[in-house]
A = this chain, B = another copy of it.
């Protein structure tokens, strides 16, 4: 084979697109997928900011949509030519947790980021447990929908997970911390589930404007104690019954604790960049604040969220504000880290 182009992270701030060997089927449960579209994730920015020195380069990309090129002998549900969505979690589809829709706890759990030789920011990928991992899209889909389909890999499903785990229902009041793609799609998801008041905390005007279009009724640009006071002022002083934390920093967690109402729920979907944090008497315990959420089993939500994309009522793909080929990926990382790009779409 002639090889292909793929994205590798060599160290903090050092992303390169290089020639690598073509992927090949290794196990009978594998599929080979030619990538139609991929993207850079907010969570890619954590290793991009601080990858420890001395590690071998890592293949990047855990969100992609593509076309099946070949399948192993045990793959039952997919065939050559199928358009598929690849969730950010590799899951076997058969264990007790997968059957419950908890792919995040799959007994054979893996992630693209843990697969040394695979990654979605590339021309093609070998997909383990193809029946369990991939979801087939109905044939004949308009190519213009691909960006929105791509959000089902991770960011839309993650925003939806935040809203569902937080218990958002018709009439809910929700505060969303973070105006990245996940925060904005948590706004869209909360609105879809019937939330009436949605306060978006973010300070990038272009993003919060999109948040308003997605359903945010209020925007708070202040942070810290001022941000907490602003949210409480909007909500009549008692705080938000549901708070979505869509950033992952300790500061964002502290913001959530400050904004949440007594008896309310903090739903976390930002990947925590901390292990310990306050959960004692003053932070959660006395007020009976619930802490929920976590890594989103996005595969479990595709069936529910796909129809709205196919019929055009949902356009989560609007979070992509930059599109590039593979050669533009290093610039894409740089621009997302600098917050000048919201989310970068890659068409290899």
Spell out A's residues near B (CB within 8 Å): 96-97, 100, 102, 104-105, 165, 238, 262-263, 268, 271-272, 274-295, 297
Find A271's partner among B97, B104, B165, B281 (CB 8 Å cutoff). Answer: B281
| CB-based closest 4 A-B pairs | A105-B262, A275-B280, A288-B294, A291-B291
Q: Beyond A275-B282, A285-B293, list 7 extra A-B contacts (CB 8 Å).
A: A102-B263, A104-B286, A272-B285, A274-B280, A285-B294, A288-B293, A289-B294
- Distance of A70 Cα from B277 Cα, bound (Å): 47
Residues of chain B lying within 8 A (CB to CB) of residue A278: 275-276
A283, B275: Cβ atoms under 8 Å?
yes
28 A-B pairs (CB sep. < 8 Å): A96-B238, A97-B262, A97-B263, A102-B262, A104-B262, A104-B287, A104-B288, A105-B263, A105-B286, A165-B288, A271-B281, A271-B285, A272-B279, A272-B285, A274-B280, A275-B280, A275-B282, A275-B283, A277-B279, A279-B291, A284-B294, A285-B295, A286-B294, A288-B293, A288-B295, A289-B294, A290-B290, A292-B292
Which residue of the partner chain B has the closest CB to A273?
B280
Task: Return chain B residues, CB-CB under 8 Å to A272.
Answer: 279-281, 285
> Which of A97, A285, A289 is packed against the most chain B CB atoms within 10 Å?
A285
In whole angstroms, how far apart are the Cα atoms of A168 and B205 in the complex? 44
A97 to B238, CA, bound (A): 10
* Copies assembled: 2
A247 smallest CB distance to B (angstroms): 13
The docked-state distance in angstroms from the alpha carbon of A275 to that of B276 is 10
Complex Cα gap A72–B337 (Å): 64
In the complex, chain B residues whose CB is within 8 Å of the CB of A280: 272, 274-277
Cβ of A41 to closest chain B Cβ, rounded Å: 15
Residue of B nearest to A97 (CB): B262
| Chain B residue at minimum C-beta to C-beta distance from A272 | B280
Residues of B near A165 (CB, < 8 A) are 288
B residues less than 8 Å from A105 (CB atoms): 262-263, 286-288
Q: Which chain B residue lies CB-closest to A293?
A: B288
Given A96-B238, A276-B277, A276-B279, A285 contacting B268 (CB threshold 8 A): yes
**Given B238, B276, B290, which contacts A291 in the complex, CB threshold below 8 Å?**
B290
Q: How far is the CA of A86 from the CA of B100 in the complex (A)?
A: 44
Q: How far is the CA of A276 from the CA of B295 in the complex (A)?
A: 21
Nearest-CB residue, chain B, relative to A279: B277
